[in-house]
Structure 1
Amino acid sequence: MDSEDESSTSDMADWKMRLAKDRVTVYNIGRHAAFLRESSEQLAGIRTSKRATRQQLLGLLDERQAHEAGLLRNLSDYFGPSFTTSYPTKHSSKAEEVFSTPELFELIVTNLQPRDIFIVQQVSKNINDTIKQSGRIQRFIGHRADPNAYFSSPVSNSHWAYSESLPVCCPQHERSPYMFSIPGRHFSIPGPDELSINVSFDLRKPKLSGIGRACRSMLVCQPPVTELTAHVECCNGHGPRFPRHPTPPAERLPKPIRRETGITVGDVVDAAIELIEEHQTCPWASEYQHDEFGRVKVSPSFKGRLKLRPDDPALQAQARALAKAETWNQRDEANRRRMTAYINAKMSAFNAGQPIPTLQEFEAANATSSG
């Protein structure tokens, strides 16, 4: 075989080898791309799942990172070295430039829920450091006190509220007229610069294993509340007590939570667990407060007052609720007086052996006599 034939055979072998290599590269490109597409759906499922664990999330993120690197490597192999300069990688992308600018990063992140920020914090060391070093973000997620802030709560009006991952809630419906429709039922009337808050603990979902250090360290609200009174229905709750049902002694009543630096979610969780354990056999519980096994159904709540800036929107919402509640109370009081008079008229007619009038007849007679 002459040198020309040898060269042709060698070229053919090289071409076949390159073709086989390209096939493997194309296969790997498809494999990496398919995983990234499918894992996006898995990530969405993990975020909405009540059973997903932190380990599952971190494991999937690690796999995605490996497949992203593999995809870029195989694309570079297939299209040549020019690919890396023609297509930005994660280190040179515009997204990385944005995340590397603290002001822009803060602007984006503070539009997320606190739980989402804790997830974002796990993406990379750079993002984790940026979040921890940002005073604005730390105040937003309740890891740093902000005495001059407008009222906000990381466990209010969020997908965390009454969830299995965090059974603590400071609901916004406390600013509704219902809360003040019966004075003293839920709160005494607050001062003009005071906000009434109610932190609830849902006994139905007390799975505390998912509450990590970051969540426990969150302040219940901003500005920080420093004192919350504790309530359980069996001893000092707002539910009705049956006549002649014994009232517990003062030393038996739940102790308030006090923290000069601000009460955290962890403080509320620890106090709630202690109350649940202490009151499950409470002798002062009414019949309806027991379950079928004789255990007392304990759902602790914590109430307090918070002084705010006069222009705080939460105070304005509370003022509107108080005004509407006052209107309801006046209406209800007028209706009670009306019905009391009618009941007395019915009883008088009954005792006199006369026909009992309808409400319309009674009011028509009154109108005639007063006219």
Structure 2
Amino acid sequence: MPQPPDFDVAIAGAGIVGASAAWHLAGAGLRVAVIDAVGPAAAASGASDGAVSVASKKPGPLARLASAALLYTRVLSQGGPLEGAFHARPSYVFGQGEAELAAMDALIAKLGQIAGPVRVVADGGRGLLPGLGDSVERLVVLDGEGHMPGHKAVRAYLARPGITPVWPAHIHAILPDDTGVTVDLGDRRLRAGRLVAALGVSTRDHFPDLPVLPRAGQLFVTDRGPADALPGSLTAAAYLLAKTETPAAARLPPVVIDPLVTGQFIVGSSREDHGDPSQVDFATLRRLMGRAVDAFPALAGRRVIRAFAGIRAAVADGLPIVGPLPDAPHVLMATGFEGDGICLSALIGAEVARMARGLGPSDGIAADLAALSPLRFTPSRQEGRA
């Protein structure tokens, strides 16, 4: 007979989505344990650029959920856990060439259909932002997005009373049954009523049937300079194309130039189907650097102080996996965000916490949240698509 639970909910993974779920669950009075092999924000959440962006999201359910998440992130930044972590800032999307200009048209149409907090405030040439290079043919200026360093948000979420940290701890096995879940940590076993699997790239270690794959992105960080050199992120429209059904249409590198409060820039990012953080690809970095300097020539005067490969958990169909497993309803998945977790974390954490408490989704997002369900990977659903 299964032992009584040590915790109401155990969360596997101390990244930003798992930390948000923990904060919401503890706020509802549940006993919560957060298990991680290393510690808070040790993987993708700590290596992200921190952009809270609706513009960069795949059109459809993901973009609509991102819009709702941005609104909720703002709420949590006003006297809540994200105060001091999230701040609003403008965003800029630039393009050159037919494919990128078409992607910018699609972006404007997408934002118009969502009718959310992000809006286009200007659409024109490079004169809209001082310092842009001659290669920029068109610039769209967006208002309403923001920035939130992942490590700050994670630590703020996990500071809530009622959350028990369990790290460093390696999960040997996740063993669901009819009344809960047992987590084998090698030297001991932890029992919980439910488990939230926010495992990122480690998802396949325990759930091999889910199509979660590690995807790398090459990035580099510059030295410090004037903190106001660029007021918001500057994204090539090729990055938007990379999130669509026709990523091959992008002929130019999908560069994103993100200013940090330190006066540095973090610049990325490619999409490579491997999970090896040691594979720093200098040929790809040179292409990213070349386009970044063409778009924003002031970067030519900066030194690169770090280059690295960030590893993100991607899903084959481009949507994260959120919801209970069909054959193990006490296990709730919250994984596969591939760079979208920073933006979605507040909302997804809240919705996963509702699921763990046996509640339905919040008003207005049920259909979009259902699109992320693991049910879409069951054999009957996949046969129906054939």
TM range (shorter): under 0.3
Answer 1 or 2: which has greater strand percent.
2
Answer 1 or 2: which has greater helix percent.
1
Q: Give TM-score, length-normalised by structure 2.
A: 0.22
Higher relative contact order (CA 8 A, sep 6+): 2
